[in-house]
Amino acid sequence: MKNISIIGDGGWGTTLAILLSGKGHNVTLWGAFSEYVETVKAKRVNAKFLPGVKIPQEVNITSSLNEAIDDNEMIVLAVPSQYMRSVLTRLTPYKLSGKIFVSVTKGIENKTLKRMSEIVHELLGSIEICVLSGPSIAHEVAQGSPTTLVASSRNLALAKEIQGIFITDRFRVYTNNDVIGVELGGSLKNVIAIAAGISDSLGFGTNAKAALLTRGVIEMARLGVAMKAKKDTFYGLSGLGDLTTTCISKYSRNHHLGEEIGKGKSLKEVLKETEMVVEGVATTESAHELAVKNKVEMPIISEIYKVLYENKDPKKGVHDLMTRSPREEGFY
């Protein structure tokens, strides 16, 4: 059994702490806000991010990085993408050699346009890191619903080690070595989920949803290939699988944000009403910039960028998508 720290006490970090503790690992769950951490520690429920789910007494809950880092062999990074750099900066004084890092965060940093593993290597050097991603709504995993993910590392032996640590009879883990594809798939699908939420809010039905998923995964793969990812990865768990879940789940924050935008609310209004981070908002900006940088056509993501950041009417965005010049279906 391993000593494992989860850095980030959101819904997903809390869920993984429960899962790993259930396998007999010694787990520490770290949160940044000491007052809230003490509340969770006392009540053994993360009411903000994973309501109704009991956290076992065996899980150590703390706001002390010393406690979370010093004696632990494996560090799971579960903080929101736009806070990853600031949290990792706080880890740089620690002795990290020999520790294994696992990133479960889905997003692309604004401005630098870096994936999470790239930020880890930039700040922490050549440490061992694996990415764990796929269709994984935290509430469903916490309730024991069968779930499948993929562990990805350029070091396939490490990916297999992480597979063994996380896998259960309800939490199946596959492996691959396409870190770029896995990270991009887990990030870009959130933008398409915002589009799906807008579509549902406007009452467009299942035909429109099918179109968004089908053409959306092609956009994701198109950018991925331009960035040296494998095309096939986007038709697997971290691409099509995660995209499907995020576009249809009632727990999807990105889909919910899209629904609210479709009702006529501004992005500022929706975010003000939302307690949790909606990763697709920041990712939309990064994805738009990556498309321009790599000269890749991504019409759905381009329209969502205009809706969120240029106040374009969603109905006009739909019209512009549907009236683009006719072409053959395929991977462009």
Known catalytic residues?
A: 189
- Cα-based distances in Å from 58 to 29, 45, 98, 100: 11, 13, 25, 22
Per the DSSP assignment, residues forming a β-bridge with 175 are 151
* Contact predicate 28/5, CB 8 Å: yes
* Contact predicate 252/144, CB 8 Å: no
CA pair distance 27, 22, nearest whole angstrom: 10
* Cβ neighbour number for residue 304 with a 10 Å cutoff: 28
* Contact predicate 96/147, CB 8 Å: no
* Contact predicate 96/124, CB 8 Å: yes
CA pair distance 251, 240, nearest whole angstrom: 18
- Termini Cα distance of the chain: 47
CA pair distance 232, 238, nearest whole angstrom: 10
